[in-house]
């Protein structure tokens, strides 16, 4: 999810728990061999064993349409030790499709096969190669054919977003079509699309037959969703949801990392972007979003966050909540 689920948000969300593996934003491959610094800029986890600070492995995703160039770049990327290499056959963005990449490749399963096979040959046998696809471009008539091309090319795992490019992100997701794909291929299949709640996850597993789920916008909106889904599958586990008192300290940590690692011009925008997602789940996030919507001054945001944290301490002081008082205002 370009521009959203970058290394900063991966860091914070994996601290909450319930996430077994991450996939990076796509690295666009055109007609050249990229220098290593491009890979590490987009996936800085490559510099720390390809894991987030919480220890969750990260696969690096490549997007392109030229099998030879993708293979050459995958070979260089493999030298940096990613937890795996993922291939993007699902991006619906017009600028990507206009240049022959992403979901447009679902119109040409033979090229998909060539890409997967070339990348598989270019990286060590022990390194997982996975792929993500949608059900199709304009319709889902070639969904199984594309999945077979991915599996036939040597992919170790397939993630299926249960909509076509034409359907974009409009609900519903057609999870039952993932079951058709799962029946046709002999590699693990992961279901993705329109999973916002524990109940959505349950229905998706039933309809798709998949044990594994990939979360996107749902976990950005509800950082505890992965943890809640796992807990729901274990009758002995506590079923409490992650609430705003737990999210607010993570928001402060997010702001800390944003101010430490990102360009000053984009910092306030990133905080507002995440709050915009969070307000779908938390009424408190709606209030917070309105309070800083017109603010771009880091010092004012520091002061606002400090006041929010202090108010939470006053409302219900505890040892767990008191730890948030130690988060430094790095942008002032």
Options 22, 69, 91, 204, the catalytic residue: 91
Residue 280, SS3 per DSSP: coil
pLDDT score of 316: 59
Q: For 267, which DSSP code?
A: H
**What local confidence, expressed as pLDDT, does residue 115 receive?**
98
Alpha-carbon dihedral sign for residues 136, 141, 147, 149: negative
pLDDT of res. 322: 37
| Dihedral, CA of residue 272, residue 278, residue 283 and residue 285, to nearest 10 | -30
- Cα(154)–Cα(132) distance, rounded to whole angstroms? 14
Task: Using the structure block, give the residue that is written with the tokens 């600070």.
Answer: 53
DSSP assignments along 8-51, one per residue: HHHHHHHHHS----EEEEEEE--SSPPPHHHHHHH-GGGGGTTB
Whether pTM > 0.85 for this model: the answer is yes
**Residue 204, Cβ density class (10 Å: 0-12 exposed, 13-18 middle, ≥19 buried):** buried
Mean per-residue pLDDT pooled into runs of 10, the chain (332 residues): 86 96 96 97 97 98 98 98 98 88 96 98 98 98 98 98 97 98 98 97 98 97 96 75 93 94 89 96 95 92 92 64 37 38
Residue ranges covered by each domain of the chain: 7-232, 244-326
Q: Is 69 a catalytic residue?
A: no
* Domain boundaries 7-232, corresponding CATH code: 3.20.20.70
The yes/no answer on whether domain 244-326 falls in CATH 3.90.79 is no
- Could you tell me if 1 and 25 are in contact, meaning their C-beta atoms sit under 8 angstroms apart? yes
Per-residue confidence (pLDDT) for residue 30, from 0 to 100: 93
Task: Report pLDDT for 236.
Answer: 64
What's the angle, vertex CA 118, arms to CA 20 and CA 56, rounded to 5?
15
> Which position has the token pair 């046709």?
184
pLDDT of residue 332: 35
**Three-state secondary structure readout of 144-198:** HHHHHHHHHCCCCEEEEECCCCCCCCCCCCCHHHHHHHHHHCCCCEEEECCCCCH
CA atoms in the 13 A half-sphere facing the CB of 208: 30
pLDDT of res. 291 = 94
Whether the domain at 7-232 and the domain at 244-326 fall into the same CATH topology: no
How far is Cα 110 from Cα 133, in angstroms, rounded to an integer? 14
């Amino acid at each position: 999810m370009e521009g959203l689920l970058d290394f900063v948000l991966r860091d914070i969300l994996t601290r909450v728990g319930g996430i077994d593996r991450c996939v990076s934003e796509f690295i666009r491959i055109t007609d050249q061999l990229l220098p290593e610094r491009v890979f590490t800029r987009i996936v800085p986890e490559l510099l720390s064993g390809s894991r987030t600070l919480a220890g969750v492995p990260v696969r690096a995703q490549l997007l392109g349409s030229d099998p030879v160039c993708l293979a050459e770049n995958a070979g260089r990327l493999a030298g940096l030790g990613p937890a795996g290499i993922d291939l993007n056959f699902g991006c619906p963005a017009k600028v990507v499709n206009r240049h022959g990449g992403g979901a447009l490749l679902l119109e040409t399963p033979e090229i998909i096969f060539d890409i997967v096979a070339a990348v598989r040959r270019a990286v060590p046998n022990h390194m997982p190669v996975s792929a993500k696809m949608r059900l199709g471009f304009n319709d889902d008539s070639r969904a199984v054919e594309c999945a077979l091309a991915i599996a036939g090319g040597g992919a170790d795992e397939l993630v299926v977003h249960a909509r076509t490019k034409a359907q974009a992100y409009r609900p519903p997701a057609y999870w039952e079509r993932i079951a058709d794909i799962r029946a046709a291929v002999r590699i693990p299949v992961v279901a993705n699309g329109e999973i916002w709640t524990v109940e959505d996850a349950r229905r998706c597993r039933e309809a798709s037959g998949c044990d594994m789920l990939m979360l996107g916008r749902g976990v950005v909106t509800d950082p505890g969703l992965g943890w809640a889904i796992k807990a729901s599958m274990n009758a002995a586990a506590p079923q409490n949801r992650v609430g705003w008192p737990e999210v607010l300290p993570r928001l402060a940590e997010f702001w800390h990392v944003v101010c430490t690692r990102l360009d000053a011009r984009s910092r306030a925008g990133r905080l507002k972007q995440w709050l915009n997602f969070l307000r779908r789940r938390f009424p408190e996030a709606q209030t917070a979003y309105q309070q800083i919507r017109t603010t771009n001054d880091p010092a004012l945001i520091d002061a606002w966050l400090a006041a929010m944290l202090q108010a939470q301490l006053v409302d219900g002081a505890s040892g767990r909540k008191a730890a948030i008082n130690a988060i430094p205002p790095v942008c002032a």
